[in-house]
Chains A and B, each alone.
Chain A
């Protein structure tokens, strides 16, 4: 039976069919739905970890114990997990271990476009890359088999386009799937799994040999295949780029690579010898191309195809035309993009109506001259956008606290405010907070605690106490952690109480001798804890069109058609369908023109 599944859902299905017992992840676009889908299957323990390294370590432990295990993360999450990953390649595994890396060409929701195929080369382990959902299912199963056959971690690389596209998948339950024996007694292998220097030195040549063995396997494995056609052009491609190549070069020969590391070099050499012009079509970095060129084979590659950004039919076509390749015409006569007849205003993302981050950003946006805003990864990254424009640096998960610390220690006159969410705090905020206490930096750490991992669509975390599979456990509160670290000045404040937020932050900025912590508490509007209140409305008699309410950046506050005669500006009005009654706009209105209505 065929069903439309996203790449992520198909990876989950493949893992389940392969008999995975344990899976762990930290949410991150575009990988998040893998664990959400896996959590729905019976007989699997699927967990949110506090960060990607913990997820990878937990899956590694499960694999040392003989279980098939999976860790999933976005591309930059692999950076967090890389310390263990590099050495896990040396230890090897007993049960199949699959790391899913979901890369983001185009940086739709990421801070960079790193190509994680490099990790497979760097760590000397195999990497598979599927081209549609059906392959995502099959390659995930294959990844577990390969991991056990060669006793090594295997990376499955996805991209945003694969993870978030749906295509038909055969969901018929394969025979023999999920027939699991109880886990055998733990088999001690300190000669492998305790990677002290003596063992690392012994293992290294074995890792090199393993890579050669995998490469030899790949030369004949069906995961790499040639689709012969017209041999005047031969295209070597992998992942989503295969789909564009197949569509734009119908009838020409294609070598589709599924095992993207180690490459089937002999197969490529033979293919190259049989075609007139060799083309390498790969998204992001020239990883295949460099290895092809290293064999002394000339090819068309990144000299024409984009090095940056996501491949599309349009940019691959344009590149191919430039290189004089026989590219298929589009379905209809190509039309030069007509200049838009209209000035279409952009629609930038914004904090949702009712968002608990609004009063905080409204407050600090006024302090450009006395504070430095050290940001972090989350919905609150949008603090950089108008109308707030209150973010001066943002690099990676948990970096806000370390960067705030460093700029202060270097002698900054302004007070750094580290802005970090609750989930990000548990991910990697604890260590830099300890560092700030230890080194006594006068920084303010503002933890925007909205009781969810919001930006990725609402995942639980240690601060919510609810597990991925719905068990209710211990909630870890943030303020007591800060106090336990010896921080004297720790406040909790209601996120929608503008005056309390402002007064508390002011006090925090006065603290001398070490860091202070302000936990801004207010649940995300998408959580069940968020409390809607009667919607607000504008009394147009009282409104003086001063624009104060527009500066809270709420999508529910609109320009009214009514003009205030004195200044000739638009009065405001509130969309009752969008308003949640959070009252922040009421608190900023100087004439009390915004009032709470009687009903919802």
Chain B
């Protein structure tokens, strides 16, 4: 595991960028070079958010190339489908099954596809698709706001890195009063990966 490309995607306001910050920090903490690059458009909320994280002994470009992403981490179901062609064939998708309808569906004439065909499309590209109900697990941990910690927990379970490094990187980023909740959320996310 000397070179890993991650792509975090979601909808503005979901905590996607914080999660990618933490993943980049973990790369540094395990002794690799790491870079992170985000595009968050001009909508405060509701737009597409993408954030690249790359780990390697030496990282050049902060963004990966389409088709070379090892882990696609999507905070929203539809967004996983939007970005799946960035995944390398056989790569891993972690997808939060939460659905947020875009304006083209609510105002326009577009349809939000049903979950089954979305998961089918993901499986057509990925070697492994991990689905999570991040909101339910975060709520179980104690706050709906810990969805990104749940997702990082799941991601950590798929990587050959010490769980403690992830947990500490998360704890350093969250307000002290949410430390315990986030530790629980992290473990629930890890446990969700069978």
Across the interface, A341 reaches (CB within 8 A) one of B41, B45, B107, B120, namely: B120
For residue A109, which residue of chain B has the nearest CB?
B42
User: 19 A-B pairs, CB-CB below 8 angstroms?
Assistant: A4-B34, A29-B42, A109-B41, A161-B62, A164-B39, A165-B38, A244-B60, A313-B64, A330-B67, A333-B89, A334-B67, A335-B88, A337-B66, A341-B121, A347-B46, A349-B46, A352-B44, A353-B45, A379-B44
| Interface SS of B by simple majority | mixed
Known contacts A4-B28, A313-B65, A555-B46, A347 near B121 by CB under 8 Å:
no
For residue B85, which residue of chain A has the nearest CB?
A337
Across the interface, A347 reaches (CB within 8 A) one of B25, B60, B103, namely: B103
**B124 close to chain A: CB less than 8 A:** yes
Known contacts A314-B66, A332-B67, A342 near B113 by CB under 8 Å:
yes
Interface size for chain A: under 10, 10 to 19, 20 to 34, or 35 or more residues? 35 or more
- Known contacts A331-B68, A338-B85, then 8 further A-B pairs from the complex at CB < 8 Å, ordered by chain A residue: A165-B36, A165-B37, A331-B88, A333-B89, A341-B120, A344-B113, A348-B102, A555-B46
For residue A457, which residue of chain B has the nearest CB?
B44
* Closest beta carbon of chain A to B183's beta carbon, Å: 22
Q: Is the CB of A345 within 8 A of B24?
A: no
Known contacts A4-B21, A347-B102, A555-B45, A340 near B81 by CB under 8 Å:
yes
**A480 close to chain B: CB less than 8 A:** no
**A2 close to chain B: CB less than 8 A:** yes
CB under 8 Å from chain A, chain B span 86-103: 88-89, 101-103
Against B, the Cβ 8 Å flags (1 = close, 0 = not) of A522-545 are 000010000000000000000000
Across the interface, A455 reaches (CB within 8 A) one of B42, B66, B67, namely: B42
Q: Is the CB of B68 within 8 A of A166?
A: no
**A559 close to chain B: CB less than 8 A:** yes
Q: Is the CB of B65 within 8 A of A166?
A: no
For residue B36, which residue of chain A has the nearest CB?
A166
In the complex, which residues of chain A have a beta carbon less than 8 angstroms from the beta carbon of B34? 4, 167-168
Q: Is the CB of A352 within 8 A of B46?
A: yes
* Closest beta carbon of chain B to A322's beta carbon, Å: 16
Q: Is the CB of B108 within 8 A of A344?
A: no
Q: Is the CB of A332 within 8 A of B44?
A: no
**B112 close to chain A: CB less than 8 A:** yes
Distance A535 CA – B156 CA, assembled complex (angstroms):
37
CB under 8 Å from chain A, chain B span 16-44: 21, 24-25, 28, 33-39, 41-44
In the complex, which residues of chain B have a beta carbon less than 8 angstroms from the beta carbon of A347? 11, 46-48, 78-79, 82, 102-104
CB under 8 Å from chain A, chain B span 58-74: 59-68
* Closest beta carbon of chain A to B16's beta carbon, Å: 13
**B128 close to chain A: CB less than 8 A:** no
Q: Is the CB of A386 within 8 A of B108?
A: yes
In the complex, which residues of chain B have a beta carbon less than 8 angstroms from the beta carbon of A332? 67-68, 88-89
CB under 8 Å from chain B, chain A span 280-338: 312-314, 317, 330-335, 337-338
Q: Is the CB of B107 within 8 A of A335?
A: no
Q: Is the CB of A165 within 8 A of B112?
A: no
Distance A550 CA – B88 CA, assembled complex (angstroms):
38
Distance A335 CA – B110 CA, assembled complex (angstroms):
29
In the complex, which residues of chain B have a beta carbon less than 8 angstroms from the beta carbon of A341? 117, 120-121, 124
**A551 close to chain B: CB less than 8 A:** yes
Distance A272 CA – B98 CA, assembled complex (angstroms):
55
Distance A341 CA – B113 CA, assembled complex (angstroms):
11
In the complex, which residues of chain A have a beta carbon less than 8 angstroms from the beta carbon of B33? 168
In the complex, which residues of chain B have a beta carbon less than 8 angstroms from the beta carbon of A344? 78, 81-82, 113
* Closest beta carbon of chain B to A157's beta carbon, Å: 17
In the complex, which residues of chain B have a beta carbon less than 8 angstroms from the beta carbon of A167? 34-36, 59, 62
Across the interface, A454 reaches (CB within 8 A) one of B5, B37, B44, B105, namely: B44
Residues of A within 8 A of B (CB): 2, 4, 29, 108-109, 132, 160-161, 164-168, 243-244, 246-247, 312-314, 317, 330-335, 337-338, 340-350, 352-353, 379, 381-382, 386-387, 454-455, 457, 526, 550-551, 553, 555, 557-559
Q: Most chain-A CB neighbours within 10 Å: which of B28, B38, B42, B64?
A: B42
Q: Is the CB of A350 within 8 A of B46?
A: yes
Q: Is the CB of A166 within 8 A of B24?
A: yes
- Count of CB-CB pairs between chains A and B under 8 Å: 165
Q: Is the CB of B111 within 8 A of A345?
A: yes
Q: Is the CB of B103 within 8 A of A555?
A: yes
* Closest beta carbon of chain A to B92's beta carbon, Å: 13
* Closest beta carbon of chain B to A257's beta carbon, Å: 17
Q: Is the CB of A348 within 8 A of B103?
A: yes
In the complex, which residues of chain B have a beta carbon less than 8 angstroms from the beta carbon of A340? 81, 85, 121
In the complex, which residues of chain B have a beta carbon less than 8 angstroms from the beta carbon of A164? 37-39
For residue A316, which residue of chain B has the nearest CB?
B61
Q: Is the CB of A337 within 8 A of B67?
A: yes
Distance A353 CA – B101 CA, assembled complex (angstroms):
13
Distance A560 CA – B111 CA, assembled complex (angstroms):
12
Q: Is the CB of B60 within 8 A of A247?
A: yes
In the complex, which residues of chain B have a beta carbon less than 8 angstroms from the beta carbon of A132? 35
Q: Is the CB of B28 within 8 A of A2?
A: yes
* Closest beta carbon of chain A to B182's beta carbon, Å: 19
Known contacts A168-B33, A332-B67, A349-B43, A386 near B118 by CB under 8 Å:
no
Known contacts A551-B107, A555-B103, A342 near B36 by CB under 8 Å:
no
For residue A456, which residue of chain B has the nearest CB?
B42
Distance A343 CA – B101 CA, assembled complex (angstroms):
14
Distance A344 CA – B60 CA, assembled complex (angstroms):
31
Q: Is the CB of B25 within 8 A of A4?
A: yes
Q: Most chain-B CB neighbours within 10 Å: which of A331, A550, A557, A558?
A: A331
Across the interface, B65 reaches (CB within 8 A) one of A317, A352, A551, namely: A317
In the complex, which residues of chain B have a beta carbon less than 8 angstroms from the beta carbon of A349? 41-43, 46-47
In the complex, which residues of chain B have a beta carbon less than 8 angstroms from the beta carbon of A29? 42
In the complex, which residues of chain A have a beta carbon less than 8 angstroms from the beta carbon of B105? 345, 559
Q: Most chain-B CB neighbours within 10 Å: which of A2, A334, A347, A382?
A: A347
Distance A557 CA – B46 CA, assembled complex (angstroms):
13
In the complex, which residues of chain B have a beta carbon less than 8 angstroms from the beta carbon of A247? 60-61
Q: Is the CB of B66 within 8 A of A342?
A: no
In the complex, which residues of chain A have a beta carbon less than 8 angstroms from the beta carbon of B11? 347
Known contacts A243-B60, A338-B85, A346 near B110 by CB under 8 Å:
yes
Q: Is the CB of B88 within 8 A of A553?
A: no
For residue A29, which residue of chain B has the nearest CB?
B42
Distance A350 CA – B89 CA, assembled complex (angstroms):
33
In the complex, which residues of chain B have a beta carbon less than 8 angstroms from the beta carbon of A558? 101, 106
In the complex, which residues of chain A have a beta carbon less than 8 angstroms from the beta carbon of B78? 344-345, 347
Against A, the Cβ 8 Å flags (1 = close, 0 = not) of B119-154 are 011001100000000000000000000000000000
In the complex, which residues of chain A have a beta carbon less than 8 angstroms from the beta carbon of B104? 345-348
Distance A347 CA – B13 CA, assembled complex (angstroms):
14
Across the interface, A166 reaches (CB within 8 A) one of B21, B85, B113, namely: B21
Distance A345 CA – B34 CA, assembled complex (angstroms):
33
Q: Is the CB of A4 within 8 A of B24?
A: yes
Distance A557 CA – B33 CA, assembled complex (angstroms):
44
